[in-house]
Amino acid sequence: MAAYRSAAGFQRVLNAVKHVCLMQRCGVIICRYSTVYDPNEKTFDKILIANRGEIACRVIKTCKKMGIKTVAVHSDVDSSAVHVKMADEAVCVGPAPTSKSYLNMDAIMNAIKQTGAQAVHPGYGFLSENKEFAKRLEAEGVTFIGPDTHAIQAMGDKIESKLIAKAAKVNTIPGFDGVVKDAEEAVKIAGEIGYPVMIKASAGGGGKGMRIAWNDEETREGFRFSSQEAASSFGDDRLLIEKFIDNPRHIEIQVLADKHGNALWLNERECSIQRRNQKVVEEAPSTFLDPDTRRAMGEQAVSLAKAVKYSSAGTVEFLVDTKKNFYFLEMNTRLQVEHPITECITGLDLVQQMILIAKGYKLQQKQSDIPINGWAIESRVYAEDPYKSFGLPSIGRLSQYQEPLDLPNVRVDSGIQEGSDISIYYDPMISKLVTYGKTREEALKKMEEALDNYVIRGVTHNIPLLREIIVHPRFVSGDISTKFLPEVYPDGFKGHMLTAGERRELLATAAALYVAAQLRSQKFLGDLRVSIVPAESRQWELCVELDQGVHMLGVSRSGNNYTVEIDGEKVEVSGEWNLASALLPITINGKHRNLQCLLRTAAGEITLQYLGTSFKLRVLSKLAAYLSKHMPEKIPEDTSSILRSPMPGSVVAVSVKPGDNLTSHMRTYGPFPRNA
């Protein structure tokens, strides 16, 4: 029996007030979309959000603006989650595993009955594209805020959707239109199509159940792994095979359709920056499309939506080659993760539009009313280690968390707060960081600033990778494809590579920070701690270690200004040195920088997040550096007998048993596809 809890508590009221205030601020400056509430547009009294995290919070925000009460569902480990605190009511639907909670249809249906919710918004993922769930809601007289079951079924099956797309005169990728029976048939089909081929889960999405194969052996392996992943992720192990378009762009069209036959395309989103077929950075519009190609893609997307009598917000995804030929990939019959950037450039609240459409209202806009107003960039901030396969999940508790919402034209869609846990049970996304500008250059500069001001402690995160992407010359010029990451970082991501000038900046900042800390330690409430402390020095000789390099520095101070001499070069560093603050806004040689001090010890160890990447330094006085040479070195831990997992997770299979012989040339299969 699901546990039910009302929202009468004082803490919930405080959270509701907090988020309403944030929403009012977002509506004008930050979010760049409007939720115009008309009291005469009667919709629903109460909506249950069958999801968690940031998308649940996002839906709740619009519901509050529309005067609609909300019900949150949650697993037992999510009982204190932000979306639970924001909602008017909350119901526990089971233990942590998704199969027993957020995918537990019986528990969610019970929650609907307990709370009297009239409609359900599924968000994305989980049950958002589950036709059986939509049917059960319909049978109980509860409105599903999304398309009808026919559209979900037709577009959720990649084989059927491709046939419908062909009939609707939508460009499709050459391939086999049936279900692949086994690995040997997969090899035969791949040979007929011609390598490379893409093996895909028929019911898949989000990059799951997808493998690229370049030969027969990889086809057999891909068939096995894709079918296993598809079965575990979607409960459907059917696969299809199609020609792999090498070096493409991933560009999608947002569509909006009502129950009266009206449909619009809301321009495109460029989603080419991916790892393992999952998006990392998106933008709207695309630098690649011209007006004619955009119109052709939009019209084909609308044609497909009308062919399945689609009625809600949806996304038609295309692969676009270097000659601007575009091919239908799939249609997502739900709200897309990256929908905020479309809201930024069109001004529409897509969640509000979905609610109005579900209630039966006609679209109030015409195609000529849909603008491209400015430029928006979205970075997906994950609890991931970007130095491992561009991002292997990390877990932990957010010991410190601060979103850069004090910056104008910045939007953060998140479902966590300081103290939240990132666990093994759910997607490790922390937030979607969105910046907006009148031009792409302005949006990119704002993203750079926002990433530098984003404070995340307690988990490993991918901000170093995100920042490197958005400042890379290829990305800035728009020369991108789905192969961007492996092409730019063929040996894996290594963090920011310092130029000579940047190295001097970093060394000088560490030295100035060290001196500021030393001076603060000598004082108590502005006075010297003890009378025998010598007069404050104005000159320091320091030894700074960075990347096994040793640098002798001279530092002089005047107020909050420090002059640091490094190898005959002078670097001017100034700022308000609040050593208790997570952020260190400073000026280096006249340039404003935002650094973060991640670690500072009495032994002179300092870890600074600079230009997105964390760097470990050691700052010592000249005497301490001399004496440290006589200290014994710490012997590193012997890990030769230890087998460590590269990422947190559950062991699902052990393919060896006692007595088996293991050889050094045995091939190891990881959780991710080769060449993906």
Lowest pLDDT segment from 233-237, 337-341, 573-577: 233-237
Tens of pLDDT along 560-617? 899 999 988 999 999 888 888 999 999 999 999 999 999 999 889 999 999 999 999 9
Contact 541, 625 (CB under 8 A): no
Three-state SS sequence of 617-639? EEEEEHHHHHHHCCCCCCCCCCC
Is residue 235 scored above 80 in pLDDT? no
Is residue 29 scored above 80 in pLDDT? no
Contact 502, 513 (CB under 8 A): no
Helices (H), 318-408: 339-346, 350-359
Contact 398, 20 (CB under 8 A): no
Determine whether 334 is an active site residue.
Answer: yes
Residue that wins the pLDDT comparison between 261 and 238: 261
Tens of pLDDT along 381-437? 999 999 999 999 999 999 999 999 999 999 999 999 999 999 999 999 999 999 999
DSSP 58-95: HHHHHHHHTT-EEEEEE-GGGTT-HHHHHSSEEEE-SS
Selected catalytic residue, list 136, 334, 557, 593: 334
Contact 553, 511 (CB under 8 A): yes
Domain spans in the chain, listed from the N-terminal domain onward: 46-152, 174-243, 249-488, 500-520+536-629
Mean pLDDT of 121-143: 96
Mean pLDDT of 511-536: 71
Of the pLDDT bands very low, low, confident and very high (cuts 50, 70, 90), residue 28 is very low
Tens of pLDDT along 147-178? 999 999 999 887 889 899 999 999 998 888 77
pLDDT at 204: 66
pTM: 0.84
Contact 257, 306 (CB under 8 A): yes
Tens of pLDDT along 189-215? 999 888 989 898 877 666 677 889 999
pLDDT at 5: 52
Tell me yes or no: is domain 500-520+536-629 CATH 3.30.700.30: yes
Considering the domain delimited by 46-152, tell me its CATH architecture: 3-Layer(aba) Sandwich (3.40)
Which backbone phi and psi does 508 adopt, to 5 degrees? -65, -40
Block residue for tokens 């449909």: 263
Contact 156, 83 (CB under 8 A): no
pLDDT at 675: 33
pLDDT at 2: 47
- Count of CB atoms situated within 10 Å of the CB of 285: 20
Count, in order, helices (H) and strands (E) of the chain: 18, 34
CATH number for the 174-243 domain, one of 3.30.1490.20, 3.20.20.370, 3.40.50.720, 1.10.3470.10?
3.30.1490.20
Mean pLDDT of 241-246: 85
Is residue 397 classed as helix, strand or coil in its secondary structure?
Answer: strand
Q: What share of the chain has pLDDT > 90, as a percent?
A: 70
From residue 637, alpha-carbon distances to 190, 220, 367, 383, 641 in Å are 48, 40, 64, 27, 11
Is residue 16 scored above 60 in pLDDT? no
Contact 245, 256 (CB under 8 A): no
The first and second tokens of residue 172, run together, are 């499709």
pLDDT at 18: 39
Mean pLDDT of 483-491: 95
Helices (H), 393-453: 440-452
pLDDT at 200: 85
Lowest pLDDT segment from 164-173, 177-186, 266-275, 541-550: 177-186
Residue that wins the pLDDT comparison between 121 and 178: 121
Asked, as a colleague might, if the bond just before 646 is cis with ω within 30 of 0, I would say no
Of the pLDDT bands very low, low, confident and very high (cuts 50, 70, 90), residue 521 is confident
Report angle CA 584, 587, 588 to the nearest 5 degrees.
115
- Averaged pLDDT score across all residues of the chain: 89
Residue that wins the pLDDT comparison between 594 and 227: 594
Tell me yes or no: is domain 249-488 CATH 3.30.470.20: yes
The 8 Å CB, 24+ separation contacts for 212-220 are: 212/244, 212/673, 212/674, 212/675, 212/676, 214/675, 216/187, 216/190, 216/191, 218/674, 218/675, 219/183, 219/186, 219/187, 219/190, 220/183, 220/184, 220/186, 220/187
Is residue 8 scored above 50 in pLDDT? no
Lowest pLDDT segment from 406-415, 613-622, 644-653: 644-653
Tens of pLDDT along 438-484? 999 999 999 999 999 999 999 999 999 999 999 999 999 999 999 99
